[in-house]
A and B are shown apart, each in its own frame.
Chain A
Amino acid sequence: MPSTLVEKYFRTEKLPQIWCPGCGHGIITRSIASAIDQSGLDKDKVCIVSGIGCSSRAPGYMDFNTLHTTHGRALAFATGIKLANPEIKVIVITGDGDATAIGGNHLIHACRRNIGITTIVYNNNIYGMTGGQYSPTTPKGDKGTTAPFGNIDKSFDICSLASAAGATYTARATAYHANLLTTLVKNALANDGFSLVEAVSACPTYYGRKNKKGNAVEMMEWQKNNAVNVAAASKMTQEQLEGKFLIGEFKNKPEPEYTSEYQKIIDKLAKGR
């Protein structure tokens, strides 16, 4: 029997989902549903948009208005939806390849505009759907099917990228830190402007296997042991932080949202008529 949360927010007839055993994506998707539930949003006033990849299968299982778009373009579609219906809560579910490679340009410009879209990036450090090619978040030196001896590209820090590009809310949690993830997505949904939450997932099938990261449980343990909350990190030394990564809220600095700014122009010009 599915839980009441699953019953309420998922297209249960579409389950079970297609993700590999041990994939972190299911946990992340549940966290998003949980955050929506805790935010008390009306299901019919939420639109979830995705691109292409493992992450982007998520909205297919979620019982909201959903739109599955083309590779990298979820934010472009979402921008159209938000502009046409500013009262709708628009959520984008995307992956590291979808959001930061083929869709990288859309990402920085959505951030820059501070348009009211909540973006959740499922980061599994690899192109999972097509069989484990390295992505812009594959750590330098790690392997992918297109980098059998290690990737020489520097990886993106998605949250820093979004913060620098103008997103007004950025945060990171992991599939292991599912409750924190729910809280962060809830906070992101409360921000009127552009929010980005990076959800560190685990891909035991490709990234894990290619890089000897162990099985699904060991990959979750890695998340548990290596994630450091930003608050705790401020009291730690550089040496203590070596090899660790930060989770928690990085930026929460509301600024005027794009569609309301747009409305102001419309109102101003309408007055002159």
Chain B
Amino acid sequence: MAIRERLSGNEAMAVAMRQINPDVVAAFPITPSTEIPQYFSQFVANGEVDTEFVAVESEHSAMSACIGAAAAGGRAMTATSANGLALMWEMLYIAASSRLPITMACVNRALSGPINIHNDHSDSMGARDSGWIQLYSENNQEAYDNFIQALRIGEHDDIMLPVMVCQDGFITSHAVENIELLEDDKVKSFIGEYEPDHYMLNSKEPIGVGPLDLPAYYFEHKRQQAEAMKNSKKIILEVAREFEKLTGRKYDLFEEYKLNDAEIALVIINSTAGTAKTVVDKLRANGVKAGLLKIRVFRPFPAEEIANALKHIKALAVMDKAESFSAVGGPLFAEIKSTLYGTADGIKIVNYIYGLGGRDVKADDIETVYSQLSDISKTGNIGETYRYIGVRQ
């Protein structure tokens, strides 16, 4: 029987970490992810886990410690947000290119500046090309479930990549919700023992990690890394199916909500999907064929699958909780547009930047987006594609 609990998103991720019982957790406090290592250090102090907890002096060191631990063959984890993630930047690339399956709880927060502690996705979106698999979570349950699945994905022999599990700072990280937890032994058997093929503390096979890689082989290693990312889509689905057998909770590369017969739809990430679903229900009750697609896996980007799921849509709004300063729209917009190019060219697509720096996103805002989509669908006029919702003019 699953365990029914009430936990905040941060507690849920800390509990997942306790059940996983990793070899090393290294972290540095930063709002709003601080609670995760804080709860975890209590588990360490209580003797509930065997983990070496390292309270390092910066996030750069946190990721470095995780890299060291993972290279030595251990399971290593950390948690961070915003500027903490930014300070890890150099090491993010090294973790991924060294093919070390580290797991990170990334509690999304606006990246300075100006300094702001509230939620948007500018931190993890900035790290989207660092070679980490990125999983996003609408609520506490998904944050917990994604975190447990992350290990199986990252540690798979064909993958060996670090995984970042994202959830919205404060909105889900600090909100207490009902949650179903797995029993400790079930988590243990689901994740299994981590036995990497090659690791530094193997006296039978001395290896070097992170050596200089000049033009002779660097390119091939990058190609292999990209191949691993491509392979991961299949593994993510395999792990999800196994997880569903265990929990009854179904996961995919993305979630389709009333999308099948929808004419207008949103593509959205994390907690605002919950707000948008209530709007979809309301519109459906009024006979409006609205739907949404919620991204779970952003890296690797499930392009073909998304194109297939959206091909019948008349007007589509891509919701970005991050600016990219490309001057043509947000990061998700760029991905979706390129995904649909040549596959579903008829769709009218607009981009909305929303909720930056914790600006509240209300159901009314989402309703406005759908009503503008209805107009686009009826008239065929797109107008400005790079739009904002909820910002002062």
Contacts and interface: CB of A to CB of B under 8 A. Distances in A.
Verify that A and B bind, or say they do not: yes
A133 B57 CA distance: 11
Nearest to A53: B29
Interface stretch (B31-39, B131-139, B205-213): B31-39
A129 B57 CA distance: 15
A148 to B, nearest CB: 4
Contacts of A104: 57
A130 B83 CA distance: 14
B308 interface: no
B57 A101 contact: yes
Interface string A157-180: 000000000000000000000000
Given A70-B112, A101-B58, A134-B55, A129 B41 contact: no
A12 B28 CA distance: 34
Contact of A133 (B34, B45, B59, B87): B34
B115 to A, nearest CB: 7
Interface size class of B (residues with CB under 8 A): 20 to 34
Nearest to A133: B29
A68 interface: yes
B224 interface: no
B30 interface: yes
Interface size class of A (residues with CB under 8 A): 20 to 34
B41 A131 contact: no
Given A68-B115, A101-B57, A129 B31 contact: yes
A133 B58 CA distance: 13
Contacts of B338: none
A146 to B, nearest CB: 4
Given A70-B112, A131-B29, A133-B29, A147 B55 contact: yes
Contacts of A102: 28, 57-59, 87
Given A68-B115, A102-B57, A147-B55, A131 B34 contact: yes
Contacts of B31: 129-130
A71 B57 CA distance: 11
Contacts of B41: 145-148
B42 A148 contact: yes
Interface in A72-122: 72, 101-102, 104
A130 B38 CA distance: 10
A52 B30 CA distance: 10
B284 to A, nearest CB: 43
A146 B58 contact: no
B29 A149 contact: no
A127 interface: yes
SS class, residues of chain B in contact with chain A: mixed
B38 A131 contact: yes
A208 interface: no
Contacts of B115: 52, 68
Nearest to B42: A148
A127 B29 contact: yes
Contacts of B34: 130-131, 133
A198 to B, nearest CB: 18
A68 B114 CA distance: 9
Contacts of A149: 45
Interface in B2-55: 28-31, 34-35, 37-38, 41-42, 45, 53, 55
Contacts of A52: 83, 115
Nearest to A146: B41
Contact of A146 (B37, B59, B83, B87): B37
Contacts of B29: 127, 130-131, 133, 146
A146 B112 contact: no
A24 interface: no
Contacts of A127: 29
Which one of B35, B55, B87 has the greatest number of beta carbons of chain A within 10 Å?
B55
A153 to B, nearest CB: 8
Nearest to A149: B45
A127 B37 CA distance: 14
Contacts of B30: 71, 130
Contacts of B83: 52, 70-71
A41 to B, nearest CB: 27
A248 interface: no
Nearest to A143: B45
A136 interface: yes
Contacts of B35: 131
A72 B42 CA distance: 26
A199 to B, nearest CB: 21
Interface in B104-125: 112, 115
Contacts of A134: 55
A136 B57 contact: yes
Interface of B: 28-31, 34-35, 37-38, 41-42, 45, 53, 55, 57-59, 83, 87, 112, 115
Given A102-B87, A148-B45, 19 more contacts: A52-B115, A68-B115, A70-B112, A71-B58, A72-B58, A101-B57, A101-B58, A102-B28, A102-B57, A130-B29, A130-B30, A131-B38, A136-B57, A146-B29, A146-B53, A146-B55, A147-B41, A147-B45, A149-B45
23 contacts: A52-B83, A70-B83, A71-B30, A71-B58, A71-B83, A101-B57, A101-B58, A102-B58, A104-B57, A127-B29, A130-B30, A131-B29, A131-B34, A131-B35, A131-B38, A134-B55, A145-B38, A145-B41, A146-B29, A146-B53, A147-B41, A148-B41, A149-B45
Interface of A: 52, 68, 70-72, 101-102, 104, 127, 129-131, 133-134, 136, 145-149
